[in-house]
Amino acid sequence: MSKTLIQNARIFTPGVPSFLGWLLAEDVKIADFGENSAPETLCNNVDEVINAKRQNLLPGFIDIHTHGCLGCCTMDADPEKILKIASFHVTHGVTTYLPTTMTDTTEVTVRAIRCVTEFVGKRGNFAKIPGVHLEGPFFNAAKCGAQDTANIRRATIEECKTFLNAGVIKRIAIAPEFPENLKAADLFKDEGISISAGHTNAVYADMAEALNHGFRSVTHLYNGMSSFTHREPGAAGAALSLDEYSCEIICDNIHSHPAAQNIAWRCKGAEKIVLITDMIRPSGLPDGHYPQADGSEFIVSHNGTELRIPSGALAGSALTMERGLKNFTANAHASLEETWRCSSLNAAKLIGIDHETGSIEKGKLADIILLDDDFNVKRTIIEGQTVYIQD
Ligand SMILES: [Zn+2]
């Protein structure tokens, strides 16, 4: 059994203020941790000692909404590309992620689900994949964003069963304002799948009703949904006011204004905000125009931080989790002490993996990152194994 001791780390764990201390990983799990220095008996008996130099020790990031990067996309249904994406993630502190589909035909979607499912349970120098996130195709074309309107459709039970039979689905985004879509949600709910209201023109009443069909979160709050107004609070207003809803949010300061992020923090608090990247194919590439095989085009600008399609619509983001956490913490006028859950534990709870990962607690998997005070990822550890170091 391999033993790794991390000394001199600022440890963030539920229930107590962060403290300087040590953590022992035994094999794949967190065996113990405590304040100050580790007991001497422990120090003699380990395979590796890591000096964290007072950096922040957090649970690894969990990104539940991310499509691709470096020219690769979940929709390519190519194992080599999934591996490339998953390897990129660990360099940004992500230890678990859900490869996320885009609206497409049944056939193409099924191929993507099958490909992702091959990675469930695999371990290596790449982020872990518990299953797939279906972003669509059961949306409202009026709020399509960068999703392909030609393939947006109402749900049928038959198509939902086809998806379920294709592999492991952990999360699905659906527009809840259509009765057919609510029936589909009932089916996914019975399978224990996390259901999110997204690309939706729902009014407040639709969002309240959706709670009865298993919806517990919204897809990128503010984007691709009916906006808040004082007479009709829309999907955004419902997400902010109904406690049951967790809110995905893209904190690149492009998809949502810093003040809108601050409002989300004030309404939802530390346990219902789920930071996501929504990274897409050109993320991680330099500025330029990237024509796609299907005739569409992505435009990367502003030093790789802004991604649009030629119509000018945002196409997803080039955000990384550590930058999202940094932006959100600043925009919330909060400290890491208050916001750390938003990049790990809240997501783990939403997709039902918090019994084994998502926080620094004894007996959980040693999925850990070290983050310096400027939010740079210095080390990523997955199940006790270091998979990334930045010196
Ligand atoms: Zn997306």
Q: What is the pLDDT of residues 200-234, one digit of tens each?
A: 999 999 999 999 999 999 999 999 999 999 999 99
Q: How far is the CA of 362 from the centre of ligand 1 (A)?
A: 34
Residues 337 and 224 in one domain: yes
Contacts of 344 (CB under 8 A, 6+ apart): 58, 59, 60, 61, 62, 358, 359
Q: How far is the CA of 278 from the centre of ligand 1 (A)?
A: 5
pLDDT at residue 40, as a whole number: 87
Residues 34 and 141 in one domain: no
Q: What is the pLDDT of residues 365-387, one digit of tens each?
A: 999 999 999 999 999 999 999 99
Residues 220 and 343 in one domain: yes
Helix (H) or strand (E) holding 338: helix 336-339
In the chain, what is the straight-line distance between the N-terminal and C-terminal CA atoms, in Å?
Answer: 27
Q: How far is the CA of 118 from the centre of ligand 1 (A)?
A: 21
Residues designated catalytic = 278
Q: How far is the CA of 330 from the centre of ligand 1 (A)?
A: 24
The torsion angles phi and psi of 168, rounded to 5 degrees, stand at: -95, 110
Residues 14 and 85 in one domain: no
CATH of the domain at 42: 2.30.40.10
Q: How far is the CA of 102 from the centre of ligand 1 (A)?
A: 7
CA 198, 180, 245, 191 torsion: positive or negative?
Answer: negative
> Kindly report the CA angle at 275 between 234 and 391, in degrees rounded to 5?
160
Q: How far is the CA of 371 from the centre of ligand 1 (A)?
A: 26
State the Cα–Cα distance between residues 15 and 330, nearest whole angstrom: 22
Residues 174 and 289 in one domain: yes
Number of H helices, E strands in the chain: 11, 22
pLDDT at residue 317, as a whole number: 86
CATH of the domain at 122: 3.20.20.140
Q: Are 137 and 167 in contact (CB under 8 A)?
A: no
Q: How far is the CA of 39 from the centre of ligand 1 (A)?
A: 46
Residues 49 and 69 in one domain: no
Residues 110 and 18 in one domain: no
Residues 141 and 110 in one domain: yes
pLDDT at residue 102, as a whole number: 95
pLDDT at residue 43, as a whole number: 83
Residues 86 and 178 in one domain: yes
What is the domain count for the chain?
2
Q: How far is the CA of 111 from the centre of ligand 1 (A)?
A: 18
pLDDT at residue 41, as a whole number: 85
Q: What is the pLDDT of residues 232-289, one digit of tens each?
A: 999 999 999 999 999 999 999 999 999 999 999 999 999 999 999 999 999 999 999 9
Closest-CA residue to 94 (of 368, 362, 385, 384): 368
pTM check: above 0.75: yes
Residue-by-residue DSSP string for 237-279: HHHHH-TT-EEEEE-SSSSS-HHHHHHHHHHH-TTSEEEE--B
Residues 145 and 119 in one domain: yes
CA 30, 97, 52, 28 torsion: positive or negative?
Answer: positive
pLDDT above 70: percentage of residues in the chain: 100
pLDDT at residue 305, as a whole number: 86
* Full residue range of the structural domain in which residue 41 is found: 3-58+358-389
Residues 91 and 69 in one domain: yes
List of the chain residues with pLDDT < 50: none
Residues 78 and 166 in one domain: yes
